[in-house]
């Protein structure tokens, strides 16, 4: 089904008068106007960066536009690079892919003596504009006259890393041969440090600077962004889906999600990963892009609900994404860590339990799930190592059970279960959020999109595989565990999972008319898995009607309470279905 209405750029229409300044000329003109209106002989402007900002471009534009008499870049106040390498090494490790979530803070990166000298230099200036730029600018001078925060979307950072355009925090390492090492340090260190610092600054932002598009910088008042976040928490909303190719990628999303048909393939769509996706705030036609995790930081209890917030803090624990293998290939054979293992080795409090919901499946579609009865662990690991070392290819069917799947099947994958989706299926993957912790066991002898072998983690996998999860156990516990829980006029609600070891609950609703939902005080994540178009409404009219198209995902904040979902064109008998996930 061609879906020409899939919304690639969902935006929140922010109510209120918040002008957006577009282009460097407009941005510096506004700042110069603020400086003149302040009537101060000396003005201190702090422009604090998230990691990944193209600091040469931003610093150059602001320095020339503001005619600053003193420019201090925070990078020059940090420890020498050899000390920073030593500082981050316990978290970065020597592994290409995995590290440990850091406990470092931004203070750890700075040399106090250099900060003291910078403060003395600032105090020596009696007239003119002083510009502080870089991550931690507001730390150097804690009460600037203007505080600007240059935020950055995680996926844009990753794209820049792939092009070797940005450095890790405090380093000059963008030209490192393997861009995955830039990403790893960003994930385990830089983003944790920057997030902790950002949360302390959000309420103080005078302006938010959006340079995700390097050629079209935009700036808006910080209070406008905070007001936009508040408005978002009072309605259903969608984050911006991000599509990426992969060595096994397929063709389904091209046809159903308005994507470039000239691209070789699309493997992933991250359509609800607030730590990674962006949120678009539309101020009267001018759109500002911010990381959607900012919404979680802004008011996690209102978004997640009290119980979920108390359990997970300001982290969004549910992830929806697509895996497209239609006319593509098998995913890597893999296993996710047990909770005890991920806590001990990587500093995470929960693991990537997940499930595959089949949005589409061709007649030959299969899922590899669980192990064969009588599997020999030693023989399987030996075969994996042999294949990885260039010997005989690994014969997955010898050790791993396969299951035929069709549209709307649902298979459950608690941590420790060997699995992968085969070719010719379109999977809605519903999981907990720490997505990076996938232990690949076998990648079918192929290379990644960069022409390099993708990391294989047989020993990590061996330490987590639950060998008793063989054919019969898998059949009884993980395949299509559907249970009707309620029904009414024109609708049926089914419980489809997840396994008792997993903390996410999923409910499918089939409907031809209006269905009443209630968040019951916990955030809901929903995807339209059948039907062309539905409308989400508030019985109490507390938010404007929200339109959702086939395959789109949306979030309902915990504070919403009751809401309804119905086909847009009721009375025509179209059978629709939603898949809803929430924390038990």
**Within a domain: 47:** yes
Does one domain contain both 131 and 27?
yes
Q: Do residues 317 and 583 touch, judged by C-beta distance below 8 A?
A: yes
Q: Is residue 409 part of a domain?
A: yes
Q: 329-345: per-residue pLDDT in tens? A: 999 999 999 888 888 88
Question: Is the same domain home to 82 and 220?
Answer: yes
Q: In which domain, by residue range, is 379 found?
A: 242-477
Q: Does 498 map to a domain?
A: yes
Same-domain status, 422 and 549: no
Asked if pLDDT for residue 456 goes beyond 80, the answer is: yes
Whether residue 281 sits in one domain with residue 407: yes
Residue with token string 């928490």: 233
pLDDT band at 349 (very low <50, low <70, confident <90, very high): confident
Q: Are residues 63 and 78 in the same domain?
A: yes
* Number of domains present in the structure of the chain: 3
Q: Is residue 398 located within the same domain as residue 298?
A: yes
Check residue 1 and give its pLDDT. Answer: 42
For residue 574, what pLDDT is reported? 87
| The predicted structure's pLDDT at residue 278 | 97
Q: Is residue 2 part of a domain?
A: no
Whether residue 338 is found in the same domain as residue 372 = yes
Q: What is the band of 10 on the pLDDT scale with cuts at 50, 70, 90?
A: very high
List of E strands, 16-124: 20-22, 42-49, 70-73
Distance between CA 296 and CA 309 in Å, rounded?
A: 10
Strands 533-537 and 546-549: antiparallel
Query: Is the previous residue joined to 251 through a cis bond, with omega within 30 degrees of 0?
Result: no
Residue 497 maps to which CATH number?
Answer: 2.60.120.10
In a domain, 331, yes or no: yes
If asked whether residues 297 and 209 sit together in one domain, one would say no
- Which residue in the block uniquely carries the two structure tokens 């750890």? 108
Alpha carbon distance 2, 6 (integer Å): 10
Q: What is the pLDDT, as a whole number, of residue 56?
A: 93
Residue by residue, what is the 3-state secondary structure of 366-426? EEEEEECCCCCHHHHHHHHHHHHCCCCCCCHHHHEEEEECCCCCEEEECCCCCEEECCCEE
Distance (Å, rounded) from C-alpha 146 to C-alpha 38? 10
Confidence band of 447 (pLDDT split at 50, 70, 90): confident
Res 290: pLDDT: 98
In a domain, 6, yes or no: no
For the chain, give the mean pLDDT.
94
Domain for residue 76, yes or no?
yes
Whether 364 and 427 map to the same domain: the answer is yes
Single out the residue in 201, 232, 263 at which a domain terminates: 232
Confidence of residue 192 (pLDDT cuts 50, 70, 90): very high
Q: Are residues 473 and 509 in the same domain?
A: no
Do 142 and 267 lie in one domain? The reply is no
Say yes or no: 134 and 277 in one domain.
no
Tell me which of 232, 256, 280 is where a domain ends. Answer: 232
Query: What is each CA distance from 79 to 85, 170, 232, 249, in whole angstroms?
Result: 10, 8, 40, 43
573: pLDDT confidence band, cut at 50, 70 and 90? confident
DSSP state of 454: P
Last residue of a domain, one of 477, 511, 535: 477
Sorting pLDDT into bands at 50, 70 and 90, what band is 571? low
| pLDDT tens profile 105-124 | 999 999 999 999 999 999 99
- Return the CATH number at 83: 3.40.50
Provide the token pair at 377. 């662990």
Which pLDDT belongs to residue 435? 58
Pairing of strands 207-210, 218-221: antiparallel
Say whether pLDDT at 4 is over 70.
no
Is 503 part of any domain? yes
pLDDT for residue 2 is more than 50: no
């Amino acid at each position: 089904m061609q879906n020409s209405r899939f919304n690639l750029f969902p935006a929140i229409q922010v109510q209120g008068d918040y002008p957006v300044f577009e282009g460097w000329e407009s941005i510096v003109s506004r700042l110069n106007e603020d400086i003149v209106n302040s009537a101060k002989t000396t003005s201190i402007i702090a422009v604090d960066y998230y990691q990944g900002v193209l600091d040469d471009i931003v610093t150059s534009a602001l320095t020339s536009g503001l005619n600053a008499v003193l420019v201090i870049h925070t990078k020059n106040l940090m420890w020498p690079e050899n000390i920073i390498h030593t500082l981050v090494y316990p978290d970065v490790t020597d592994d290409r892919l995995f590290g440990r979530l850091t406990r470092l803070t931004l203070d750890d990166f700075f040399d106090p003596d250099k900060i003291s000298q910078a403060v003395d230099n600032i105090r020596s200036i009696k007239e003119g504009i002083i510009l502080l730029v870089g991550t931690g600018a507001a730390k150097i001078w804690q009460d600037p006259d203007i505080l600007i925060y240059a935020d950055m979307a995680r996926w844009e950072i990753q794209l820049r890393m792939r092009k070797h355009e940005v450095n890790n925090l405090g380093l000059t390492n963008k030209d490192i041969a393997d861009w995955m090492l830039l990403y790893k340090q960003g994930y385990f260190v830089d983003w944790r440090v920057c997030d902790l610092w950002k949360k302390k600054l959000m309420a103080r932002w005078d302006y938010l600077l959006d340079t995700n598009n390097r050629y079209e910088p935009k700036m808006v008042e910080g209070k406008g962004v905070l007001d936009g976040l508040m408005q978002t928490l009072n309605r259903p909303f969608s984050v911006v889906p991000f599509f990426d190719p992969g060595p096994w990628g397929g063709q389904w999303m091209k046809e159903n999600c308005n994507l470039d048909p000239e691209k070789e393939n699309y493997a992933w769509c991250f359509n609800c990963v607030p730590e990674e996706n962006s949120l678009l705030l539309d101020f009267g036609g001018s759109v500002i892009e911010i990381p959607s995790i900012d919404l979680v930081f802004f008011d996690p209890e209102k978004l997640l609900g009290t119980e979920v917030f108390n359990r997970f803090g300001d982290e969004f624990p549910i992830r929806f994404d697509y895996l497209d293998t239609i006319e593509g290939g098998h995913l890597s054979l893999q296993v996710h860590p047990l909770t005890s293992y991920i806590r001990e080795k990587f500093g995470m409090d929960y693991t990537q339990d997940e499930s595959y919901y089949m949005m589409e499946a061709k007649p030959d579609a299969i899922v590899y799930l669980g192990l064969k009865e009588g599997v020999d662990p030693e023989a399987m690991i030996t075969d994996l190592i042999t294949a990885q070392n260039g010997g005989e290819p690994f014969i997955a069917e010898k050790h791993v059970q396969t299951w035929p799947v069709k549209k709307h099947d649902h298979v459950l994958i608690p941590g420790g279960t060997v699995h992968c989706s085969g070719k010719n299926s379109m999977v809605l993957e519903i999981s907990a959020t720490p997505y990076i912790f996938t232990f690949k066991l076998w990648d079918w002898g192929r290379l990644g999109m960069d022409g390099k072998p993708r990391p294989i983690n047989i020993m990590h996998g061996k330490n987590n595989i639950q060998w008793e999860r063989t054919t019969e156990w898998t059949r009884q516990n993980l395949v299509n565990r559907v249970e009707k829980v309620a029904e009414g006029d024109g609708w049926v609600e089914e419980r489809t999972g997840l396994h008792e070891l997993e903390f996410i609950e999923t409910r499918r609703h089939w409907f031809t008319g209006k269905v009443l939902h209630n968040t019951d005080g916990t955030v809901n994540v929903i995807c339209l898995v059948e039907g062309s178009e539905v409308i989400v409404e508030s019985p109490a009219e507390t938010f404007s009607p929200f339109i959702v198209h086939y395959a789109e995902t949306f979030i309902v904040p915990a504070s919403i309470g009751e809401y309804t979902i119905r086909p847009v064109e009721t009375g025509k008998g179209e059978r629709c279905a939603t898949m809803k996930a929430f924390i038990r």
